Each structure stands twice: as C-alpha cells, then as structure tokens.
Structure 1
Amino acid sequence: MRNTPNVLELIKKYQAKGYVDNFRIENNTLIDVISKLEYSPKEIHIVAEHRFEGMSNPADMSILYIIKIGNEIKGTFLASYGSVADTEAAEFFNEIPQENVSNSENILN
C-alpha cells in the first residue's frame, strides 16, 4: 500500500513544480493574494484535486485544488468541504466549467 502524502507535503511538492500562487475567494471571484488580480470561474482550470479526511475527525474534510490560469499563473487553493464547508468557495468551484477540470497535473498518478 502506497503512503499518501498529507496536505502540507502535497502543497510543497506542487510548489516545487511551480504552483506557488495562493488565492482567496470573495464575491464569487478568485483573488491572487499577492498580485490582487481577480479571476472568474470561467478563467480557472483545475488540473488536479486531492481530498482529505481529518485524522481525528472524519468530518474535518478538505480538498486541495491545483489551479492554472492561462499559461502563467499556477497555484493551490485549500477548501473545506462536507459539514464544515466554506459555502462561498464551494459555490465558486461548482461554477468552474466541467471542460476546465482535469487530472492532468496530478503528481500522485
């Protein structure tokens, strides 16, 4: 059985591959924390995602989105899901067109 990395280990591995931007969501817009540039769901490409359950409480669930925007912007977004979900983030990611979602950059494949 392969040992699955935890969230921080995965983020570090993706950062080593250039996924260094961090984002927040506000008013149905993804905002780059450093540049303050704003993006709509249609501009976002999810190139991998990883789901995690809390070690001590399975209700503590999160999903790590690996994101590309155009050819230049690459980063990660960690969102809660399940009973403690951030509804604004969940709604935003549900609006990303299905054709913009793939698993093409998943480092665990």
Structure 2
Amino acid sequence: MENAKNELELIKKYQAKGYSHNFRVVDNRLIDNTTKKKFEAKDIKVVAEHRFEGMSNPSDMSILYVIKMGNTKGTFLASYGSAADTEVAEFFNTIPKENISNDKNILM
C-alpha cells in the first residue's frame, strides 16, 4: 500500500473505519471471535484485499481480507504460499466471485 508498513498498521486503519471484528475458519465456516456468529462463504463480501511479503524473508507472505457480512465488518489475516493454512485457503476460494470486489484499497 500505500502508507502502511505492515499488516498491523493497515488493520488499525481499517478498525478506525469500523472493520473491527476478527474471525477464524472452522469446519468450512467463518466464525466471529467475539460474537461466535457463523458465516457461510456465500454470505461474505470481500471489499478489499492486501498482499504482503516478509521484509526479511519474501517467502513469508500474507493476505489481509477486508470483509463484511451485513452489519458485521472486519478483517482476516491469512498466510499464503507454502505457509498457508489449507482450510483457510480452501474456504476463501469458495467465496462466490461476484462477492469479491476489485478494490485493492478502500481507505483512500
């Protein structure tokens, strides 16, 4: 991006815009860590994504998904490449293409 030096900096900027929920993937569902509400892939709208490479090791790669489901908005940070969690990668691959925005940055 942009002006963010790392993932945490960018997450904080999104949190300030209301994307404050954090999630985990379990049994092919996205679960809100606070409310424990479960979401199916078809219910998720990816409004932006950001990819990062490790500064000291370029193979340390991550992707920050900025997502919303109705009034629930938040971020999900996932590893990709050789360090990827296959359950997470498979789940995000099942989100319908029409639910994925082409926006790379909604902070501007």
Q: Give the TM-score taking structure 2 as reference length.
A: 0.92
Give 1:95's aligned residue: 94
**Retained in 1: the 8 A contact 2:49–2:104?**
no
Gaps of 5+ in 2: none
Matches within 5 A, 1:27-106: 27-70=27-70, 72-104=71-103, 106=105
Structure 1 stretches of at least 4 aligned residues deviating more than 6 Å after TM superposition: none
Gaps of 5+ in 1: none
Per the TM alignment, residue 5 of structure 1 is displaced from its structure 2 partner at its CA by: 3.2
Deviations 1:47-68 (A, max 9, x none): 0000000111111100000001
Give 1:7's aligned residue: 7
Calculate percent identity across the aligned residue pairs.
68
Per the TM alignment, residue 32 of structure 1 is displaced from its structure 2 partner at its CA by: 0.2
Per the TM alignment, residue 43 of structure 1 is displaced from its structure 2 partner at its CA by: 0.3
**Retained in 1: the 8 A contact 2:49–2:103?**
no
SS in 2 for 1:91: helix
With over 3 angstroms needed to count, the CA separation of the structure-2 counterparts of 1:67 and 1:100, relative to structure 1, is same
